[in-house]
């Protein structure tokens, strides 16, 4: 007989990894398009804005309907639907990318919307199956995402560095198709504990059933701030390395992978610490470490061993600190919801983090356009992490309902 908890983590971990592999490929595809498309010098930020901001906003926006659907239908159905949309748009990109930036931007949006359906479904599934040791389970689920993220830069950069670089699109579509097939082979009824099954109980399903309006606002500021500094940083980093530091795209991919090597370690450490010392402590200190990493990235670079080591250390610290906070952040959201509305609340939280967080790209791109360097944007993003840290001590659930 299939073990419910093990199966849950295997399926959601693989789907989580794939979704992040799909989405993290976009900045590297953008960097390649900057090479093969006539873009006036100094205007790269505009292309980055056009291709990435709407896509990542829609990625987050997809979490809203996904959360509602998750509370009404099986999470596997929501995951399969999302991946199917991403597969279809990936195939279309292979044939239609020569039409130009406008066509690519529209297909990026559909691609991202499909991928955005995953998080509320997958995270709700794990949260409900693991009422105990939830932080550790969410950390393990997060490791699946980190593996996908770690693989994406080097895989994307390797394919994009060849003359046959458009094959990146069918490659991503095929990966999505495989994981979709795995998901439809399982039924949530086998993996979802009966005592955690969705209920129509109105008294426990309201958005504010376990939190006040003020706490909801503080949670929102925390999630949006974290989403903005993360999305802006990982979008700007490969372009900063490739265009400003003149690193080969494949080297930019290798350096980008370090974020998720550090992140995989952070997921495990942060998940365990969340169960031991509480989500608030983990989240506060992780934000402070993220601020330090961004300050290190904002220092001017010149080619020497010391600066190379500083750059590598900053990238790994950024990954470790951001992902160490993931289990704590998701535990926070789980405690501010009930089993009956957890999908909806997670849907909102991922919209805040990924959708509204996409506007962080505007910050870092605007600084590049104004000052001619990406590092000034990293400095501005460091302050967003401190804003998130300042809100966290005041976030408390209305009651202890799980």
| DSSP per-residue letters across 116-178 | HTHHHHHHHHHHHH-SSSHHHHHHHHHHHHHHHHHHHHHHHHHHHTSTTGGGHHHHHHHHHHH
Q: 12, 10, 22: which is closest to 86 by C-alpha? A: 22
The answer as to whether 162 is a domain residue is: yes
Name 154's Cβ contacts closer than 8 Å, sequence gap at least 6.
Answer: 250, 253, 254, 256, 257
Arithmetic mean of pLDDT, 325-347: 82
The answer as to whether 69 is a domain residue is: yes
Q: How confident is the model at residue 392 (pLDDT cuts 50, 70, 90)?
A: very high
**Per-residue pLDDT for 4 more than 80?**
no
Instruction: Give the Cα separation of 122 and 111 in Å (integer).
Output: 18
List the CATH number of the domain containing 44.
1.20.1250.20
Task: Quote the mean pLDDT of the chain.
Answer: 82
The answer as to whether 402 is a domain residue is: no
First to last CA, the chain: 28
Tens-place pLDDT, residues 68-115: 888 787 787 888 888 889 889 989 989 988 887 788 889 999 999 998
Instruction: Give the Cα separation of 32 and 396 in Å (integer).
Output: 45
Instruction: Give the Cα separation of 153 and 377 in Å (integer).
Output: 21
pLDDT for position 294: 92
The answer as to whether 330 is a domain residue is: yes
Residue ranges making up the domain that contains 94: 4-394
Backbone phi, psi, residue 395, to 5° = -95, 115
pTM: 0.72
Query: 264 near 393, Cβ under 8 Å?
Result: no
Tens-place pLDDT, residues 151-172: 887 888 889 989 999 999 998 8
The answer as to whether 399 is a domain residue is: no
Instruction: Give the Cα separation of 30 and 135 in Å (integer).
Output: 35
Tens-place pLDDT, residues 355-366: 888 888 888 888
CB atoms within 10 A of CB 97: 18
Alpha-helical (H) ranges within 161-278 are 168-184, 188-191, 213-239, 249-277
Count of domains observed in the chain:
1
The answer as to whether 401 is a domain residue is: no
Instruction: Give the Cα separation of 27 and 257 in Å (integer).
Output: 13
- Residue with the bigger pLDDT between 248 and 391: it is 391
The answer as to whether 64 is a domain residue is: yes
Tens-place pLDDT, residues 206-239: 555 557 788 889 999 999 999 999 989 888 888 8
Alpha-carbon 317 to chain mean position: 17
Instruction: Give the Cα separation of 152 and 327 in Å (integer).
Output: 21
Backbone phi, psi, residue 352, to 5° = -65, -45
Q: How confident is the model at residue 399 (pLDDT cuts 50, 70, 90)?
A: low
Rounded-to-10 torsion of CA 73, 79, 80, 85 = 120
List the structure tokens of 118.
């995953």
List the structure tokens of 53.
């901001």
């Amino acid at each position: 007989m299939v073990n419910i908890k093990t199966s849950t983590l295997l399926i959601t971990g693989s789907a989580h990894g794939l979704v992040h592999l799909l989405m993290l490929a976009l900045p590297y595809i953008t960097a390649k398009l900057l090479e093969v498309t006539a873009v006036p010098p100094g205007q790269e930020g505009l292309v980055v804005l056009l291709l990435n901001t709407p896509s990542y906003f829609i990625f987050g926006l997809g979490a809203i309907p996904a959360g509602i659907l998750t509370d009404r239908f099986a999470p596997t159905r929501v995951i399969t639907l999302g991946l199917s949309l991403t597969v279809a748009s990936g195939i279309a990109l292979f044939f239609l990318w020569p039409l130009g930036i406008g066509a690519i931007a529209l297909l990026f949006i559909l691609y991202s919307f499909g991928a955005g359906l995953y998080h509320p479904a997958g995270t709700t599934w794990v949260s409900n199956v693991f009422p105990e040791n939830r932080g550790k389970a969410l950390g393990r689920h997060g490791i699946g995402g980190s593996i996908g993220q770690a693989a994406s830069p080097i895989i994307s950069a390797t394919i994009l560095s060849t003359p046959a670089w458009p094959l990146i699109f069918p490659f991503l579509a095929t990966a999505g198709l495989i994981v979709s097939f795995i998901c439809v082979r399982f039924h949530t009824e086998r993996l979802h504990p009966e005592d955690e099954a969705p209920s129509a109980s109105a008294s426990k399903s309201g958005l504010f059933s376990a939190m006040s309006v003020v706490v909801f606002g503080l949670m929102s500021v925390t999630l949006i701030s974290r989403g903005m500094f993360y999305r802006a940083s990982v979008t700007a980093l490969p372009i900063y390395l490739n265009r400003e530091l003149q690193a080969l795209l494949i080297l930019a991919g290798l350096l980008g992978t370090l974020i998720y090597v550090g992140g995989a370690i952070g997921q495990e450490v942060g998940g365990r610490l969340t169960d031991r010392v509480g989500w608030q402590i983990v989240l506060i200190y992780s934000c402070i470490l993220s601020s330090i990493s961004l300050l290190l990235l904002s220092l001017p670079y010149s080619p020497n061993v010391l600066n190379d080591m500083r750059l590598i250390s900053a990238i790994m610290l950024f990954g470790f600190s951001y992902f160490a906070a993931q289990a704590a952040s998701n535990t926070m959201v789980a405690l501010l919801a009930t089993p009956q509305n957890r999908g909806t609340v997670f849907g909102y939280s991922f919209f805040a983090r990924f959708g509204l967080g996409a506007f962080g790209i505007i910050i870092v791109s605007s600084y590049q356009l104004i000052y001619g360097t990406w590092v000034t944007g990293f400095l501005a993003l460091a302050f967003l992490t401190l804003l998130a840290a300042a809100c966290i001590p005041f976030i408390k659930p209305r009651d202890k309902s799980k």
